[in-house]
Amino acid sequence: MTPRADAERLLVVDDEATVRELLSATLRFAGFRVVSAGTAAEAITAATEEPPDLVLLDVMLPDMDGFEVVRRLREQRTAGRGGPVPVLFLTARDRQADKVTGLSLGADDYVTKPFDLEELIARIRAILRRTGGSPASVLAVGALALDAEGHLVTRDGRPLKVSPTEFRLLRYLMENAGRVVTKAQILDRVWHYDFGGDASIVDTYISYLRRKVDTEEPRLIQTVHGVGYVLREPRT
């Protein structure tokens, strides 16, 4: 199958040639345009020359680990134009600390090897759905503002640096300002886990957001115990 000229472009990064070729062939058959790289240096060059719509990135590369690759890609995108490119980590390392590290760097998902190819494709499509939506108007709750088109978050006019996933979570909370949303609703709308997902990731990202958004009074992101979360100005 030959991908459409306007199909999403994926960058597959893995130092194992067999895995890289299998993934590339499978993703092309699924309708994506695919380029591949076997080292961190090749990946950074490929992503710089033509930014992909999503990067599938192995953590353990021969010249640099995948976490450092993400840091460098984020720095380049911040210094240049455009928002952060979505990243899905592929790795044999399933330690919780590694997952937290990857997600804290702004990765959109984390898949451990061996993985099911159909599930992987479903996760890729979910990430692309939630990162490719049409822009909305500027949202504001108190001194907190979110510009979807400009991908900018400010509080009291001060820019806040948030990852792509943090941005989507904050946008969902602000779109539902004053309304309590459950973890299941957040997983469905922010992560699109149609096939299920670990709800603890919601708590983790709420914690990340609070460290950036709620460093001063009034605290806007509130926990409703036994139900979920709500973003609103505290009642006086």
Q: Over the stretch 139-189, which tens digit does the pLDDT of each residue have?
A: 888 889 998 777 889 998 889 999 989 999 999 898 888 888 888 888 877
Name the CATH topology of 138-231.
Arc Repressor Mutant, subunit A (1.10.10)
Output the pLDDT for position 143: 86
Average the pLDDT over 76-81 and give the result: 52
Three-class secondary structure of residue 39 per DSSP: coil
Q: What is the pLDDT of residues 83-130, one digit of tens each?
A: 678 899 887 766 666 666 766 666 778 888 888 888 888 888 878 877
Q: Label residue 4 by pLDDT band (50, 70, 90).
A: low
Domain 9-132 indexed as CATH 3.40.50.2300? yes
Domain ranges for the chain: 9-132, 138-231
DSSP letters for 109-174: EEEESS--HHHHHHHHHHHHHHHSPPP---EEETTEEEETTTTEEEETTEEE---HHHHHHHHHHH
Q: Quick one: pLDDT at residue 3?
A: 59
Q: Average the pLDDT over each of 62-71, 81-90, 148-157, 221-230 and give the range with the smallest value.
A: 81-90
Q: Is 193's pLDDT higher than 70?
A: no
Question: Is 12's pLDDT higher than 60?
Answer: yes
pLDDT band at residue 61 under the 50/70/90 scheme: very high
